[in-house]
Amino acid sequence: MAFIDLARKEINCKVVFYGPGRGGKTTNLIYLHKALKSNAKGKMVSIDTKGDRTLFFDFLPLAIGKIRGLDIKIQLYTVPGQVMYNATRKLVLKGVDGIVFVADSLSVQKEKNIESLENLIENIQEENMDIKNIPLVLQYNKRDMDGGKIPLLSIEEMDQDLNSTLKVPSLPASALKGTGVFDTLKTISKLTIRYVSQKVVGQ
């Protein structure tokens, strides 16, 4: 749930990057942090571990406009991909306003993508929310590895696996090279702002 700080005239929205381990969640945020101008970003916090790249979360506040005279700030988080850290995932999802599901395009990750999406849906349900009512964007990452030693899943197959019932925006990307990263951010930002605006106006 977006937090309104009247003293600072700010609305703080929370967007979480979710997905299987090593799928590119943290790489998305690193690319954004490097590419954005200093006045549009805050400090990024990243905690690396031996088992997974991000144990807790990355946090990157972005200033992106106004609603009813209030500045909008989107805070970007990632969750750990490994199953053993599911309690942390649940904690990071609390109060979420938008989600980017980062799927790994490598064919060997097919089942991990599906398992991670199912886990997301379960964790959202435990928060008494419906995945279909929350702004959600699917990012099909690592498309730059096409033609490598490990074959990639086709976009059509990934849509069939992950998006056949959700019917949400899906974008191909390479978080390492930055391809599709800003498109993903723009898409989830628009959906999240619309979602939060309706709540703010309704108050």
pLDDT at 55: 44
> Per the domain annotation, does 201 fall within a domain?
no
Say if residues 47 and 53 touch (Cβ distance below 8 Å): no
Task: Identify the burial level of 69 via C-beta atoms within 10 angstroms of its C-beta, where 0-12 means exposed, 13-18 middle and 19 or more buried.
Answer: exposed
pLDDT in tens, the chain (203 residues): 677 777 888 888 999 999 999 999 989 998 998 888 887 778 877 766 555 555 445 567 777 777 778 888 888 998 887 767 888 889 889 999 999 999 999 999 999 999 999 999 999 999 999 999 999 999 999 999 987 788 999 999 999 999 999 999 999 999 999 999 999 999 999 999 889 888 766 55
* Number of structural domains found in the chain: 1
Q: Which domain holds residue 43?
A: 9-193
Read off the CATH number of the domain in which 175 is found. 3.40.50.300
pLDDT at 187: 96
Say if residues 79 and 16 touch (Cβ distance below 8 Å): yes
> Per the domain annotation, does 1 fall within a domain?
no
CA 29/CA 44 separation, integer angstroms:
8
> Per the domain annotation, does 3 fall within a domain?
no
pLDDT at 129: 94
pLDDT at 132: 95
For 56-94, write each residue's pLDDT tens digit. Answer: 455 677 777 777 788 888 889 988 877 678 888 898 899
pLDDT at 59: 67
User: Assign residue 40 a region: left if phi > 0, alpha if psi is -120 to 50, beta otherwise?
Assistant: alpha
pLDDT at 156: 98
pLDDT at 201: 60
> Per the domain annotation, does 31 fall within a domain?
yes
In this prediction the pTM is: 0.90
**123-134 exposure pattern, b = at least 16 Cβ within 10 A, e = fewer:** bbeeeeeebeeb
CA 124/CA 5 separation, integer angstroms:
25
Tokens 């628009």 map to which residue?
A: 190
